[in-house]
């Protein structure tokens, strides 16, 4: 009866087995390490400029205004230079100033500058976003989209909510711009201020 003998492994066979084992370990290490790199590569989605509590004064047609608080989350000043909305073919960035004893509205030269890590309020009787030529009624709760353009070309998009407002320091009256008035007292000035002219 023949006995079976185990042949000794050759050096070549040993090297081949070691290479296969190392290859498998390297593959497993690469696969397990790949997911860990994902979170660190994810970019921040927080914009530099945001707006809190944006709202639009309700109106039948003609003119209205948008308000809120601009918030600068960055380390340098930012300036809003223009605005746009499907609700209005013409939007201006307005300020309210005293002129000859009257409070008047006019386009704000240079736009709205929001200081680094600071805020800039948009409110009745102060700076605001003015919408002219409105042909669609803005009812309470209406969702109105806006896009503000910054001096560096970047933009901020947001949605403002329609809100009734019956008092303030400005009386938005028809004048230089067509389309009627805003339908309510919002504070002092004359409509000529919309064209950049003060009443005499």
CATH for 112: 2.60.40.1890
Q: Domain for residue 136, yes or no?
A: yes
pLDDT per residue as tens digits for the range 62-119: 999 999 999 999 999 999 999 999 999 999 999 999 888 888 999 999 999 999 999 9
Count the domains in the chain.
Answer: 1
Which residues form the domain of 170? Answer: 49-195
pLDDT per residue as tens digits for the range 29-46: 433 444 444 444 444 335
Spell out the residues 6+ positions from residue 80 whose beta carbon is closer than 8 angstroms to its own.
49, 70, 93, 111, 112, 113, 114, 148, 149, 150, 151, 156
Are 99 and 79 in contact by the 8 Å Cβ rule? The answer is no
pTM for the whole structure = 0.65
Task: Report residue 53: phi and psi, to 5°.
Answer: 50, 50
């Amino acid at each position: 009866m023949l006995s079976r003998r185990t042949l000794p492994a050759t050096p070549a066979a040993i090297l081949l087995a070691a290479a296969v084992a190392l290859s498998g370990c390297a593959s497993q290490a690469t696969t397990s390490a790949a997911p860990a790199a994902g979170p660190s590569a994810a970019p921040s989605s927080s914009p530099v400029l945001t707006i809190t509590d944006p709202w639009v004064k309700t109106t039948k047609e003609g003119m209205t205004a948008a308000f809120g608080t601009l918030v600068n989350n960055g380390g340098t000043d930012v300036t809003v230079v223009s605005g746009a909305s499907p609700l209005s073919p013409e939007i201006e960035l307005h300020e309210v100033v005293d002129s000859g004893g009257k409070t008047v509205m006019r386009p704000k030269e240079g736009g709205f500058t929001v200081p680094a890590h600071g805020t800039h309020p948009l409110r009745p009787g102060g700076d605001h976003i003015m919408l002219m030529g409105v042909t669609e009624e803005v009812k309470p709760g209406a969702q109105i989209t806006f896009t503000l353009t910054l001096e560096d070309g970047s933009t901020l998009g947001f949605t403002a909510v329609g809100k009734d407002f019956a008092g303030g320091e400005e009386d938005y009256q028809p004048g230089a711009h067509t389309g009627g008035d805003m339908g309510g007292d919002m504070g002092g000035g004359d409509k000529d201020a919309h064209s950049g002219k003060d009443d005499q």
